[in-house]
Amino acid sequence: MGRNDIYMPVPASENSPSKNCSLDLGDSNAPRDNQSNQYDSILLKSLEADVGSVGANVGPYFQDGQRRVDYVLSYQVKMPGSIRRKASRFSKSVLYRSLRRSLSRRHGEPTAATKEDPEIAAQEQQVDYHDDDNKFRREEFEENLLEMGLELEKDEGNKIPGIGFLKIHAPWKVLCREAEFMKLKMPTKKVYEIKQGSNLVEKTRLFIHKITAPLHPKVEANRLTNIKPLSHPFSREKQHLFDLSNRHTFFDSKTRSSIVYEVLKRTRCTRAKYTMGITSLLGNGVYTSAYPLHDGDIEGMVAEASDRKLLYEEWASYSVFYKYQPIGLIRKYFGEKIGLYFAWLGVYTQMLIPAAIVGVIVFLYGCATVDDDIPSMEICDPRNNITMCPLCDRACSYWKLVTACGTARASHLFDNPATVFFSIFMALWAVLFMEHWKRRQMRLNYVWDLTGFEEEEEHSRAEYEFRVMQKTLRKDRAHKSEHVKLTCTDRMPAYLTTLVVMCFMISVTFAVVFGVILYRISIKAALHMSSYPAARSNIRATVKGTAAVINLVIIIIMDEVYGAFARWLTTLEVPKTDKSFEDRLIFKTFILKFVNAFTPIVYLAFFRGRLVGRPGNYLYVLGSYRMEECAHAGCLMELCIQLCITMLGKQLIQNNLFEIGIPKLKKLIRRRRSDMDSQQEEDFNMTLQRHEKDHFLDPFVGLSPEYMEMIIQFGMVTLFVASFPLAPLFALLNNIIEIRLDAKKFVTELRRPIGARAKDIGIWYNLLRGLSKVAVIVNAFVISFTSDFIPRLVYQYMYSLDGSMHGFVNHTLSYFNVSDFQAGTAPVEPMHLGYKVETCRYKDYRESPWSNTPYELSKEFWAILAARLTFVIVFQNVVMLMSDFVDWLIPDIPKDISLQIHNEKVLMVELFMKEEQGKRLVAREKHKRDNQTSSSSQQSPPQIRSRPFTHVNTTNC
């Protein structure tokens, strides 16, 4: 084969692809020669283009410079034995270096021959067999592609040693045929004017659009226009309806690549392990990668104007962070599915702005009122002289309540009456966000001509086909005619494995959280026993901070582990279609990552400090570990610290640092392993063609990781917002960076994805809706049980003498007689405070030691518990009712969009009626002309026909 081989479709009679897939590749060479002759009969022209040719076309075109490359397949090519022996010992980058050296010495002196190791020779023979087998599979697949009408061109140059490329072009007939099969909506010649709505909502939207005009990107596809072409599913019989004046631009590059991909998925290769198309060939290593090409370069002197360059300038740049996204251009270049993701991310980020503003106001309210908070003032007042019981056995001694002054004042910043209002606000905010997105989604469906779009049944996955084939072979011949498919019985072992492994993974998460609890208990006791004053100065802050960081590191590590396990379990289940595979993978990944991220937070919010016991009768785990208590101001401050560190850490480290640092690290390693300096590497890249440049980019792995980041963040923002009002602000700042970071990744670092069509965000919407419902319940319990909001209300209206909060701290503390300590648990240094302590205080609602029922739960405890449960029920039902009312009040489809959709249907009917009337008029005119011709021929023929008849008779005579 030559370096550049161009293939064209040939008639079926001339093309004789080999259909026999059981060739004996080890013994017979005749079939191979016959195969090569048949394959070479398709070869029209072989261009031996020089690598350093100045006139070589570096754009996304065939060698003729006319036909556009719509898709590229790459594969391993057979290399000389000496080079392959080197490649077996070194990495891929070393292979490139050694091969470049050998190629540079190609015209030099020959190297001395060396003796071959028999073991190496046997391995090479096995590799040759595998390479030849893959080659035959590729030949059959490419012949079938030619039968489908595609045009092919091979490029096995030496710029990327060991890699060959198959460039694919779809001619006009194939594009029309496949567009009709795929029911692609294309714009017709008919255009109509979009009538702007006259209601208040529409006028407000247009007014806001005019005000924010400087924030819109300078992209034509993103501007509002009053003219819209009427779209209709493409049909070859109705080509006259469409504007085909320029066939090169009628189907854009995104549509062309998606059409070719559909052909590649349908085309069978029976030599492959599975019988389906390109997915099975990629899985078997017949081809190493498959991707459409980017439109062009984005930097440098040779960078021409293109959609990719425009996206880089107006979207993937941090300098335009304050601008709206060019959603129309994103959809045009990447497809509807990716366009919907960035549209959803933009709506979510915009909706975070009011939430962040209100959250900051709530936080500032806490800062402004901290000096007026009576409970904090009582804790910080040294005149109260309240002696507290030890926080741990033996090592800890008695302590003064005044030492918790800083924690009490800091807790008020997040635990104040405004947080209740903020929780209600965020519950309604979540509903408004979902409604706003539904309306935005319907507007995009109308603009992108996705109304009426229904996802067709996808092709079966290669693994599913292989399992079905195995099941078919196991069946008797008498049942072979039946349609075979995988049933629940076939998948039952996989389902049981999934259930067991998921439960085990969740148990691992609980065990890790329990380990961090033991760490906190141990390190607290160790610091209390330390002889260094610095270690004992701020024990609580040290324990809280280090435990939160450890939780963060474990969460980040386990996220990667859980993602791998979720993919493995989903593969075991063998879903039939790619969509089913994706939905199952998303569900498993979400469950595991959600449990991983929120288990430490749930423990701090609802369990810590409640499974403690009391002095003299504490609860112990593993024999000697006493369960930890909350600070006097409650666990809300520790919950806030855990949320803050987890949220910021995941966003900065896992989301941003990994996405920025890992590509730069790969690039640095690749540069260090290369023999070329930066200038030589830049010059080398300048000589590469478009398909060679895109080969070095990372493959697109889907949108699930991007969505998962935002879903977990949405949970952080809504579920425990009562304890951390600044969460929306941190999420907003992160998303502003995340949008541009993802944009740069899609435009510059990833291969171009397939332009997949979609009308919604799929299962992610259901997850968001579920989280918004759960958030109402969680926040109700956080306000009721984690914060001191309910105990303060109960004290103020039931037990306070003057209706104020004076005396609240003393009301929450119970008495304990130090003589009632269990043996071996009393402090080692009872005189730590300088005086003998007879009674100490602890936070709980229990009877005093001198009462008739010492240390039993008091009636105040039961009154507060009843108030807490009542608040949960009332809060949940009121907020749910308000949310449902807002959901009912706001229609899912904007009124102007529903009117435009109706008008579009009417215009389409009128267009077809006019077409039918035109056909009838043409038929009538034709019929009238035929009648006139026949009537005239009946009147004048005697004179006309008599002459030749007489002449003929005369001639015959």
User: Which long-range CB contacts under 8 A does 872-875 form with residues at least 24 apart?
Assistant: 872/777, 872/780, 872/781, 872/784, 875/423, 875/424, 875/776, 875/779, 875/780, 875/783, 875/784
pLDDT score recorded for residue 870: 94
| Residue that wins the pLDDT comparison between 485 and 862 | 862
Contacts of residue 438, defined as CB under 8 A and 6 or more positions apart, other chains included, come to 892
Tokens standing for residue 431: 């509903």
Distance of CA 943 to the CA centre of its chain: 85
> For the segment 707-731, what is each residue's pLDDT rounded down to a tens digit?
998 999 999 999 888 888 999 999 9
Rounded distance between C-alpha atoms, residue 95 and residue 83, angstroms: 8
Tokens standing for residue 382: 């040294």
Mean pLDDT of 316-337: 90
The 8-class DSSP code of residue 304 comes to: -
pLDDT grade for 482, boundaries at 50, 70 and 90? low
Question: Which of 429, 513, 431, 419 has the alpha carbon at shortest distance from 779?
Answer: 419
> For the segment 837-852, what is each residue's pLDDT rounded down to a tens digit?
889 999 889 999 988 8
The pLDDT of residue 406 is above 60: yes
Among the ranges 302-316, 445-459, 474-488, 842-856, which has the highest mean pLDDT value? 842-856
Q: Are 563 and 597 in contact (CB under 8 A)?
A: no
> For the segment 939-954, what is each residue's pLDDT rounded down to a tens digit?
555 544 444 444 433 3
- The CA-CA-CA angle for residues 567, 775, 412, to 5°, reads 120
pLDDT score recorded for residue 91: 37
pLDDT score recorded for residue 89: 38
Q: Are 600 and 775 in contact (CB under 8 A)?
A: no
pLDDT score recorded for residue 321: 86
The pLDDT of residue 163 is above 80: yes
The 8-class DSSP code of residue 782 comes to: I
Maximum distance among all alpha carbons in the chain?
156
pLDDT grade for 15, boundaries at 50, 70 and 90? very low
Mean pLDDT of 923-947: 65
pLDDT score recorded for residue 22: 33
The pLDDT of residue 95 is above 70: no
pLDDT score recorded for residue 56: 39
Rounded distance between C-alpha atoms, residue 79 and residue 100, angstroms: 13
pLDDT score recorded for residue 121: 45
pLDDT score recorded for residue 521: 84
| Residue that wins the pLDDT comparison between 845 and 912 | 845
Rounded distance between C-alpha atoms, residue 336 and residue 444, angstroms: 9
Distances (CA, A) of 626 to 388, 481, 615: 17, 68, 11
| Residue that wins the pLDDT comparison between 712 and 895 | 712
pLDDT score recorded for residue 461: 75
pLDDT grade for 523, boundaries at 50, 70 and 90? confident
| Residue that wins the pLDDT comparison between 33 and 914 | 914
The pLDDT of residue 138 is above 60: yes
Rounded to 5 degrees, φ, ψ at 777 are -70, -45
The pLDDT of residue 32 is above 80: no
Rounded distance between C-alpha atoms, residue 422 and residue 435, angstroms: 20
Mean pLDDT of the chain: 79
Percentage of residues in the chain having pLDDT higher than 70: 80
**Helices 578-606 + 763-781 axis angle, to 10:** 10
Mean pLDDT of 563-568: 92
Query: Helices marked H in 782-855 — which ranges?
Result: 789-794, 808-812
Tokens standing for residue 177: 């045929």
The pLDDT of residue 529 is above 60: yes
Mean pLDDT of 492-513: 92
The pLDDT of residue 437 is above 90: yes
The pLDDT of residue 178 is above 80: yes
pLDDT score recorded for residue 360: 93
Q: Are 498 and 588 in contact (CB under 8 A)?
A: yes
Contacts of residue 535, defined as CB under 8 A and 6 or more positions apart, other chains included, come to 527, 542
Among the ranges 530-534, 729-733, 920-924, which has the highest mean pLDDT value? 729-733
CA atoms within 13 A on the CB side of 223: 8
pLDDT score recorded for residue 450: 86
The pLDDT of residue 81 is above 60: no
Q: Are 646 and 734 in contact (CB under 8 A)?
A: no
Number of H helices, E strands in the chain: 32, 16
The pLDDT of residue 665 is above 50: yes
Q: Cα(first)–Cα(last) distance of the chain, in Å? A: 72
Among the ranges 86-100, 214-228, 481-495, which has the highest mean pLDDT value? 481-495
pLDDT grade for 129, boundaries at 50, 70 and 90? low
Question: Which of 592, 528, 587 has the alpha carbon at shortest distance from 560?
Answer: 592
Q: Are 49 and 3 in contact (CB under 8 A)?
A: yes
| Residue that wins the pLDDT comparison between 676 and 260 | 260
Contacts of residue 916, defined as CB under 8 A and 6 or more positions apart, other chains included, come to none
DSSP assignment of 307-337 equals HHHHHHHHTS-GGGTTSPP-HHHHHHHH-HH
The pLDDT of residue 923 is above 90: no
> For the segment 774-831, what is each residue's pLDDT rounded down to a tens digit?
998 998 998 888 888 899 999 999 988 888 888 898 899 999 999 888 888 888 888 8
The pLDDT of residue 627 is above 70: yes
pLDDT score recorded for residue 61: 85
Q: Which of 172-181, 209-218, 660-669, 820-829 has the lowest mean pLDDT?
A: 660-669
The pLDDT of residue 465 is above 80: no
Percentage of residues in the chain having pLDDT higher than 90: 24
Contacts of residue 790, defined as CB under 8 A and 6 or more positions apart, other chains included, come to 783, 784, 864, 867, 868, 871
Helix, strand, coil tally for the chain in percent (to 5): 60, 10, 30
The pLDDT of residue 348 is above 90: yes
> For the segment 761-770, what is each residue's pLDDT rounded down to a tens digit?
989 999 999 9
One-letter amino acid at 145 equals L
Tell me the Cα Rg of the chain.
37
Mean pLDDT of 210-236: 78
pLDDT score recorded for residue 111: 40
pLDDT score recorded for residue 341: 95
Mean pLDDT of 217-240: 78
